């Protein structure tokens, strides 16, 4: 094999590994992590997009602050995930199976709750001082910064849907739904309201969707039966 072709293949493997580890990323982030120039990393990304293992995603504006066009995110496709190091998922599933057999299902639940507590701690400071009504958008921004490609969508009766377009543990959560349940509870605490999962990537849906009810209005702003405020 030509030496340059071998080097390109190794670099593209590293790109795919980073996308698997970090989730959707901009070319700038990938280039910085790999020590490549913008032109260099884009050459490899273009090749991966062409072979169908990577696709581009434009962040929704609800998940991005600031003016101007948001930077494109690059993410692994289903084929890209299939070509990745599935051994890590196999190892995680095997470890949780062993834990369940050796210590019982309660031990798996405790592990999931501990992981969710760490997840919650990571975002608590980002939401400190944010009004309840603004928390879904603020949390979506924080999740996007960590590679979850999150966004918010308005829903009926003033409610919101918080969407996560990437899940780093979807293959494991497919067999151990305790991970999803614990994360959902943590999201509810972060948002300071009762939330409900509508869809999950682990169950075969295209996105993890969380229903967030409308924030309660101050007592003085409750609409009266005639339409005015009381």
Lowest mean pLDDT across 8-22, 100-114, 159-173: 8-22
The mean predicted confidence, pLDDT, of the chain is 84
Q: Quick one: pLDDT at residue 156?
A: 93
Chain centroid to Cα 207, Å, comes to 9
Chain centroid to Cα 150, Å, comes to 6
Mean predicted confidence (pLDDT) in 57-71 = 58
- Which DSSP letter does residue 161 get? E
Half-sphere exposure of 228 (CA within 13 A, CB side): 1
CA angle, residues 147, 152, 157, in degrees to nearest 5: 160
Mean predicted confidence (pLDDT) in 122-135 = 93
In this model, does residue 43 exceed pLDDT 80?
Answer: yes
- For the entire predicted model, the pTM comes to 0.63
Helix-helix angle 135-145:178-191, to 10 degrees: 130
Q: Quick one: pLDDT at residue 127?
A: 95
- Reported as a single tens digit per residue, the pLDDT across 183-219 is 999 999 999 999 999 999 888 887 899 999 998 876 5
Lowest mean pLDDT across 9-13, 58-62, 88-92, 110-114: 58-62
- Candidate ranges 43-57, 62-76, 99-113; pick with highest mean pLDDT: 99-113
Full set of structural domains in the chain with CATH: 3-82 (1.10.10.10), 87-212 (3.30.1380)
Q: Quick one: pLDDT at residue 121?
A: 94
Kindly state the percentage of the chain with pLDDT values over 70.
83
Half-sphere exposure of 140 (CA within 13 A, CB side): 27
């Amino acid at each position: 094999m030509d030496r340059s072709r071998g080097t390109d293949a190794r670099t593209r493997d590293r790109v795919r590994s980073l996308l698997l580890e970090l989730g959707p990323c901009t070319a700038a982030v990938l280039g910085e992590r790999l020590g490549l120039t913008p032109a260099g990393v884009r050459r490899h990304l273009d090749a991966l997009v062409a072979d169908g293992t990577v696709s581009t995603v434009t962040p929704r504006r609800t998940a991005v602050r600031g003016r101007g066009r948001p930077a494109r995110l690059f993410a692994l496709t289903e084929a890209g995930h299939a070509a990745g190091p599935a051994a890590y998922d196999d190892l995680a599933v095997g470890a949780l199976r062993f834990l369940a057999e050796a210590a019982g299902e309660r031990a798996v639940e405790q592990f999931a709750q501990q992981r969710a507590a760490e997840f919650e701690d990571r975002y608590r400071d980002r939401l400190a001082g944010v009004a309840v009504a603004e928390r879904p958008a603020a949390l979506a921004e924080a999740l996007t910064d960590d590679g979850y490609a999150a966004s918010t969508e308005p829903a009926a009766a003033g409610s919101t849907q918080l969407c996560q377009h990437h899940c780093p543990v979807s293959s494991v959560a497919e067999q151990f739904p305790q991970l999803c349940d614990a994360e959902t509870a943590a999201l509810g605490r972060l948002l300071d309201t009762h939330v409900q999962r509508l869809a999950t990537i682990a169950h075969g849906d295209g996105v993890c969707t969380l229903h967030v009810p409308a924030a309660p209005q101050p007592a003085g702003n409750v609409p009266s039966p005639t339409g005015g405020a009381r």
